[in-house]
Chains A and B, each alone.
Chain A
Amino acid sequence: MDKKDSGRLYFHRRELLIGAAYLMLGLSKAHATIIVDHLPWTPNAGNPPTAALPGSWVFFTRDEGRAMEAIADRIIPPDPQTPGGKESGSAIFIDRQLAGPYGRQDGLYVRPPFMKGTKSQGYQSEKGPAQEYREGLAALDLACKAKFDGKAFADLSDQDKDAVLKGLESAEFKLDGTDGKAFFDMAIKDVQMGFFADPIYGGNRDMVAWKMIGYPGSRYNYLDWVNRHNERFPLPPVSMTGRAEWTPQTR
């Protein structure tokens, strides 16, 4: 963040005479600046999004990654028209999110004391999403192995997987040391988020989710269409990385 701020220093001549102390502003790693006379605008000083890295797991272990892909594929099962959560990249999306600022709880208020509150007081756990996933996935595999002859969640039949997930959802299938229902609620939210977010973050590969629902993506101008009522918008979606046909290497 804020890389645009480096090299941004503007001084009015009169201000410059006041004292050298001003020079400390902006030169430190902090970015406080004084704005006078003109807008502080620097060419090419944008702050574009950070694309998810391709390749193997960053946050998940191999077993966690397998379990997460298996969960993703039951939350969003593949069908003949549209891939499921695994193939479209939802587990990759979650992995990259957990390895980044979201997983680290960057910017959140994490000062103690941590106390249990009412539901209306919001999330109060000390753990944060990265640890919740780590504990939740481990507890899920343990519970499955105990119930299904040593089989991890990813090795179950689709029918058994769905039975386990429904059990988590209804709080009838318990995990040891972890709130299984809260864990699965978080997984549903994140798997579906990866499916619908821009493909630059690792899910929604080739904009499969956007094609499925008819969302045209990061287009910017519907002036010609605002008054065309009840007509299907005809153009295919675009993402921040363009369209698959234009930039196959970036999906």
Chain B
Amino acid sequence: MAKRLPKKDVVIIGLGWTGSVMANELTDEGLEVMAIERGPWRDAPTDFPPSYMQDELRYRVRHELFLRPDQLTFSFRNKVDQTALPIRSWGAFMPPNGVGGGGVHWNAEMWRFLPSDFVLKTHLTERYGASFLPEDMTIQDWGITYDELEPFYDRFEYLCGTSGTAGNLNGKIQPGGNPFEGPRARPYPTPAQAQPFGHTLFGKAAQDLGYKPFPQPSGNLSQAYTNPLGLKMGPCTYCGFCEWFGCSNYSKASPQTTILPYLVRKPNFSARDNSEVIKINVDKSGTRATGVTFVDSSGVEWEQPADLVVLAAYTMFNVQLLLHSKIGKPYDPIANTGVVGRNYTHQTISSVNGFFDNKKYNFNPFIASGAIGMCIDEFNGDNFDHGPHGFVGGGYMGQVQTGARPIESTLVPPGTPKWGAAWKTAVKENYLSTVKPGTGVHGSFYAYRDVYLDLDPTYSDRFGRPLMRITMDLKENEVKQNKFLTDKFAEIIKAMGADKLGIQYRTAPYDISTYQTTHLNGGAIMGTAPTTSALNRYMQSWDVSNLFVLGASAFPQNPGYNPTLTVGALAYWAAKAIRDKYLKSPGRLVDA
């Protein structure tokens, strides 16, 4: 029997980016806020100090900062008629754990989505006709527009100190920026980061081919910055240890560097770490949350009652907690009914490595940051005419190499043996003169009727609850998209002067064992109707009006960009709706 704690105004599940944003906004409103975080408190001095943070084996290969599968994992299959098996060791994505969430160990790419991304179904249908879309594709509009979200994009960019070059200021295209971006009200808070040799070479080659390259917007800062909460960040030192690692230098935007030191001082805020919420409790009517039940790390079960519940965990844990709490109707792909688990998506990633003459080229590839790079956006979203190509979607591409940590970055040209003297010589000759863009082609992943999340019939977690089951495959539309984009990317790498190319297309089946990105999305999507979305446009549960669900689980499908800036902007958007509308008149903010 759970021990009952005194009631709070608000309980927040998860203290990552969205939980921190929401906690800061709602404590400003005078509410008593308690955040409950499954993992430990983390910070630079204790968890990733400069004396031992640059440890590729510990943090990258052995997953030091991530959730452990024995705590919680998922089962996976490609197709509905297969038996799902558990993910025993992480591969395709890396679930976060602990205070700061993925914000601790991300690369800090700060992309806005395109205006057309938010009205995708309408836009594509108007331009190409409904029959142009694959029959089983279930893309839909978000229920919010770019213009509505713009002020909140701006807030998150300024919270983080984002370094970049504006491409569209109030409708005026700016030189050196991304000409395809939606209009922004003001420039980035700090100028773009410096670019190492390989990255500038990509920019030059792209320009020569007629594209409009621009620096990737970065949450690793080009200069010192004091954010609107008064927190100070230092300039990035280009050490090349961002993704998988924490930043020792207070240069990478994270809840730790941009919110938590300010938030924790507020008398109406408190947090619990190492405590896992296992259920959102609802009353008998099933329409009102009464709080949450959590288990601390000694196994003691507690009930935290609250008037308002904010679910702010990672995509997968949000959906799983809704399924375990029986909130919202689970999705059934056969009957095509229900919403929880529907429109689950990932990202379509590929790359092209370029091997250059080591007598002419020395890239010092270890000099980098996680969000450095020169990119082009000509082939993202609907920035080009898809008519002749027979697919929809796209992505940005660029030389976005994040470092050259030697376990993963000692590449050899295609055709080289995998071991022995020839391999050793090739490693030696190529390390400094190879361009390894990593997520060089960063493509969209649209939604399909038979790609979804539900509960597994066989495997269970340490509490005895069923694992959540992933059913996901790569569809013909995405394979075609990736082939088209990767070929375009290879042309640019070739034009940089590479002698040999290592081209890696993304092909079916979707593979759970090799890393792509941690950009999992959907399963509890926002939208305009309770029959096709779990949340309304304010990220409020259609079924339980005092429950808001933040994060990329709300994305109806995934555009060709990194998700975090949109995740942060949507958290501010939802917070404003709670502050301006919900608190004045608690209840449904949108009529069903």
Contacts and interface: CB of A to CB of B under 8 A. Distances in A.
Interface of A: 2, 4-5, 12, 15, 18, 21, 24-25, 28-42, 45-49, 74-77, 79, 82, 101-102, 106-111, 113, 115, 117-124, 162, 165, 169, 188, 191-193, 196-198, 201, 209-210, 212-223, 225-227, 229-233, 240
B52 A48 contact: yes
Contacts of A102: 62
A106 B270 CA distance: 32
B205 interface: no
A42 B46 contact: yes
A225 B297 CA distance: 45
Contacts of A76: 419, 424
A214 B410 CA distance: 11
Contact of B420 (A24, A47, A74, A210): A74
A122 B421 CA distance: 30
B188 interface: no
A49 B64 CA distance: 11
Interface of B: 3, 5-6, 40-41, 43, 45-47, 49-52, 54-58, 61-63, 68-71, 73, 76-78, 82-83, 85-89, 91, 194-197, 200, 235, 237-240, 248-249, 260-261, 264-265, 267, 269-275, 296-300, 361-364, 366-367, 404, 406-407, 410, 418-421, 423-424, 427-428, 431-432, 458-460, 509-513
Nearest to B406: A196
Nearest to B458: A113
B275 to A, nearest CB: 5
B54 A220 contact: yes
Contact of B89 (A123, A192, A210): A123
A114 B85 CA distance: 8
A35 B273 contact: yes
B458 A38 contact: no
B3 A21 contact: yes
B274 A30 contact: yes
8 contacts: A28-B297, A45-B46, A76-B424, A215-B404, A215-B431, A220-B50, A222-B367, A226-B194
Given A111-B459, A193-B61, A31 B264 contact: no
Contact of A31 (B40, B71, B421): B40
Contact of B270 (A4, A15, A165): A15
Nearest to A8: B41
State the 9 A-B residue pairs at the shortest beta-carbon distance, nearest first.
A30-B297, A107-B68, A122-B513, A30-B298, A218-B54, A32-B296, A213-B431, A229-B197, A109-B69
B273 A32 contact: yes
A209 B423 CA distance: 13
Given A15-B270, A111-B459, A32 B298 contact: yes
A196 B410 contact: yes
Contacts of A231: 362, 364
Contacts of A41: 43, 45-46
B273 to A, nearest CB: 6
Contact of B296 (A25, A74, A193): A25
B296 A197 contact: no
Given A109-B87, A118-B82, A120-B512, A213 B61 contact: no
A40 to B, nearest CB: 5
A77 B70 contact: no
Given A31-B297, A32-B296, A102-B62, A82 B264 contact: no
Residue of A5, A36, A77, A221 with highest tally of chain B CB at under 10 A: A36
Given A123-B88, A222-B239, A229-B200, A29 B62 contact: no
A213 B428 CA distance: 5
At the interface, is chain B mostly helix, strand, loop or mixed? loop
A147 to B, nearest CB: 20
B272 to A, nearest CB: 6
A218 B58 CA distance: 13
B46 to A, nearest CB: 5
B237 A32 contact: no
Contact of B196 (A107, A109, A169, A229): A229
Contact of A24 (B69, B298, B513): B298
A40 B265 CA distance: 11
Contact of B418 (A111, A162, A169, A220): A169
A46 to B, nearest CB: 6
B265 A240 contact: no
A197 B57 contact: yes
B58 A49 contact: yes
A230 B270 contact: no
Contacts of B419: 74-76, 165, 188, 191-192
A110 B70 contact: yes
A124 B85 contact: yes
B523 to A, nearest CB: 20
A25 B418 contact: no
A122 B200 contact: no
Nearest to B274: A32
Contact of B43 (A39, A113, A198, A221): A39
B124 to A, nearest CB: 29
Contact of A240 (B55, B235, B363): B55
Contacts of A212: 427-428
A46 B458 CA distance: 40
A34 B46 CA distance: 17
B428 A108 contact: no
Contacts of A223: 235, 237-238
Contacts of B361: 230
A5 B52 CA distance: 19
B70 A220 contact: no
B70 to A, nearest CB: 5
B85 A108 contact: no
Contacts of B363: 230
Contact of B513 (A25, A123, A209): A123
Nearest to B422: A77
Given A36-B264, A222-B238, A226-B196, 18 more contacts: A18-B5, A33-B273, A42-B46, A45-B45, A46-B46, A48-B52, A111-B459, A115-B85, A121-B76, A124-B85, A162-B420, A188-B419, A192-B410, A193-B61, A213-B427, A213-B432, A220-B249, A240-B54
A4 to B, nearest CB: 5
Residue of B83, B235, B260, B406 with highest tally of chain A CB at under 10 A: B406
Contacts of A32: 272-275, 296-298
